[in-house]
Amino acid sequence: MSNGMKYAKFYGHSVRALSGLSAKQLQMYIYLASEVKMVRNELSLTRSDKDKAARAVGIKPSSVNNFLSKYCRLNLMINLGGGVFILNPSVTNRGRFESLPSMLMTYTNARAKARKKTML
């Protein structure tokens, strides 16, 4: 039963990964991890979602894509294309703790597939 609270789990070792972000980039990451509708640690970001996130954090909408690219470079998430991203569950996740192993497997497989694409 939900009490209506929104949350995201951040693990202690994730502090190092997040320390490379500016204050606005960190605010955006936390916003995405806690506010955007997510299924199995996957974000599906529409233009409207990105505009709303930009307003919430106080940045230009055009900066959102730059932030997303940086998160991918820092292995905080993977871009699956079509506005779909998977958060790295070893850094942060939303969901039941019991589903963490399957989220890690999904992320690892998606990362391997993305690496193969860039090698071709």
pLDDT digits (tens, 9 = 90+) for 16-55: 778 889 999 999 999 998 876 777 788 889 999 999 999 9
Is 60 a domain residue? Answer: yes
Is 63 a domain residue? Answer: yes
Is 35 a domain residue? Answer: yes
Of the pLDDT bands very low, low, confident and very high (cuts 50, 70, 90), residue 101 is: confident
Q: Are 29 and 18 in contact (CB under 8 A)?
A: yes
Is 3 a domain residue? Answer: no
**What's the number of domains the chain is made of?**
1
pTM, two decimals, is 0.82
Q: What is the pLDDT of residue 69?
A: 95
Is 6 a domain residue? Answer: no
Range of the domain at 110: 11-119
Using CA atoms, how far residue 57 sits from 2, 111, 115, in Å, is: 26, 28, 31
Is 61 a domain residue? Answer: yes
CATH code of the domain covering residue 104: 1.10.10.10
Residue spans of alpha helices (H) in the chain: 14-18, 23-35, 47-57, 61-73, 100-119
Is 2 a domain residue? Answer: no
Q: What is the pLDDT of residue 1?
A: 41
Is 5 a domain residue? Answer: no
pLDDT digits (tens, 9 = 90+) for 48-74: 999 999 999 999 999 999 999 999 999
- Name residue, tokens 């991203």: 85
